[in-house]
Amino acid sequence: MRNRWLIALTAIGIHISIGSVYAWSVLTRPIMAAMGWSLKETTWTFSLAILFLGLSAGLLGSVAEKMGPKKSGLWSTLFFGIGMLGTGYALEAHSLTLLYIFYGVIGGIGLGVGYITPVSTLVKYFPRNRGFATGLAIMGFGFAALIAGPLMQYLTAQYSLVQTFQILGVAYIIIMALSSLYLKPPTNHAATVTTDATATNSTEKAQTTAAARPANTLFNRGMNAHEAMRTWQFSALWWIFFINITCGIGLLAVASPMAQEIVGMNATEAASMVGIIGLLNGLGRIGWSTISDYIGRPFTYMLFFLIEILAFFALGHTSNSFFFQFLVFAIITCYGGGFACMPAYLSDLFSTKALSAIHGRVLTAWGFAGIAGPMLVSFLRESTNSYSGPLFVFSALFVLNLAVAVALKVFTKDHHFEAEEKVVEESLNNTSVTSA
């Protein structure tokens, strides 16, 4: 049986590796200068990677569930590693097509499988703190840019672009492979720890059988992906996830130029703000997901959307630099929190039986939002000749999201298994103490 805190560490290891995709902008200018490609051609690589992240998570979620976390983690390692090393080859060959294939498609598949694999496993190790568990893993994805960004800057300054991707590829393969090898679900743990080998009579055997039941109840009950997708709750969660990411990515795409235009920040100040955004994106994931364990996922999402309604609307009216940054930071914490709370919300509604597959289906929204967000904000900016237009549209979209979140709370029953969660949690705590 695995120590659940080491499981958490391996989940973070995988997500920090694949989350380096958020630092792609650091490499944009060096690649443009070396290859002679346009900004649009270079940034499309990132959009393609996010698209295939969502598509692969959705299409391969059921496959990853059947393979188990170890094998699916290793497959993720293989695809992401080939993507990084292949990117180096594409740059050496000066081939934009190969860049799209290796980083966007192959690397994107590795991103999708790697994203869902550790999350569904980690949730099972923290049955009574699912928000905290998912926040731990997904926090790594949010923080990755803070580590990968400076690292990429250093490597490109010391080595060629080809060598940079080779070094990163090897490093990520090692980290992800070691992390994947440790992943193992606690499926039968409660049954193991509660079974009394000395039970000799039928009464004692019946008692141990009853004690063993919670693990099976908790981990094996619930809907499969196909059943979950037929519910209106799944569609509702897909929608609010799509809107939250669309507006969040739209803001991230123009944060620096918008700050300079609306409140007159200089380039250095805007860059510093972007750095803080990366930090708060990660903190928002662990912070909000932990809060959701206490106030519930429905209320957490309602709070997200209420904050974002007010913040996006106020952004279009403010001329104060400090207040502008405060509003942006508030939105970004909600953006990150929306990612971290979603797997826990899905497990609340559909249990953990097929969480990887169900979570993967929802992540298709991320793939489409990664393209829709920047396109929408660019279109509205050009149409209105102002950033106020996109900000007001985003605020209106969150009004709709708030209504959907309220409907989810009012018309959905909670499917928690409180008794079962308590027994499994206690047994896992005992294992962690013993293994320490």
Beta-carbon contacts of residue 68 (< 8 Å; ≥ 6 apart):
184, 185
Q: Which long-range contacts (CB under 8 A, 24 or more apart) does 169-175 make?
A: 169/81, 169/83, 169/84, 169/85, 169/87, 169/88, 170/81, 170/85, 172/17, 172/18, 172/20, 172/77, 172/80, 172/81, 172/84, 173/77, 173/80, 173/81, 175/13, 175/14, 175/16, 175/17
Mean pLDDT on 427-431: 59
Q: What is the pLDDT of residue 195?
A: 39
Contact 305, 261 (CB under 8 A): no
Q: What is the pLDDT of residue 208?
A: 46
pLDDT digits (tens, 9 = 90+) for 46-81: 889 988 999 999 888 888 888 999 999 999 999 999
* Confidence check: pLDDT of 152 > 60: yes
Q: What is the pLDDT of residue 188?
A: 54
DSSP H helices, 93-231, are 96-99, 107-125, 130-158, 161-182, 189-194, 202-220, 225-229
Percent of all residues in the chain with a pLDDT value above 70, rounded to a whole number: 86
pLDDT digits (tens, 9 = 90+) for 25-40: 788 888 999 999 987 8
* Confidence check: pLDDT of 379 > 90: no
**Could you give the CA distance from residue 182 to residue 11 in angstroms, rounded to a whole number?**
10
Task: Using alpha carbons, select from 31, 1, 155, 20 the residue that is nearest to residue 92.
Answer: 31
Same fold for the pair 4-182 and 220-419: yes
CATH topology of domain 4-182: Growth Hormone; Chain: A; (1.20.1250)
Q: What is the pLDDT of residue 211?
A: 45
pLDDT band at 210 (very low <50, low <70, confident <90, very high): very low
Domain ranges of the chain: 4-182, 220-419
CA–CA distance from 86 to each of 39, 78, 100, 170, 260 (Å)? Answer: 21, 12, 10, 12, 37
Q: What is the pLDDT of residue 200?
A: 46
Between 313 and 209, name the one with better pLDDT.
313
Q: What is the pLDDT of residue 431?
A: 57
Q: What is the pLDDT of residue 310?
A: 97
Lowest mean pLDDT among 221-225, 228-232, 264-268, 338-342: 221-225
pLDDT digits (tens, 9 = 90+) for 307-333: 999 999 999 888 899 999 999 999 999
pLDDT digits (tens, 9 = 90+) for 352-370: 778 888 999 999 998 889 8
Q: What is the pLDDT of residue 391?
A: 93
Mean pLDDT on 128-139: 86
Q: What is the pLDDT of residue 77?
A: 97
pTM: 0.80
Q: What's domain 220-419's architecture?
A: Up-down Bundle (1.20)
Q: What is the pLDDT of residue 430?
A: 60
Contact 292, 346 (CB under 8 A): no
Contact 52, 174 (CB under 8 A): no
CA–CA distance from 84 to each of 112, 158, 205, 375 (Å)? Answer: 15, 18, 54, 26
pLDDT band at 134 (very low <50, low <70, confident <90, very high): confident
Q: What is the pLDDT of residue 199?
A: 44
Contact 14, 74 (CB under 8 A): no
In whole numbers, what is the pLDDT of the chain averaged over residues? 85
**Could you give the CA distance from residue 81 to residue 349 in angstroms, rounded to a whole number?**
34
Helix (DSSP H) and strand (DSSP E) numbers for the chain: 18, 0
Lowest mean pLDDT among 62-76, 81-95, 176-190, 412-426: 412-426
CA–CA distance from 310 to each of 62, 100, 105, 328 (Å)? Answer: 38, 38, 37, 11
Q: What is the pLDDT of residue 307?
A: 97
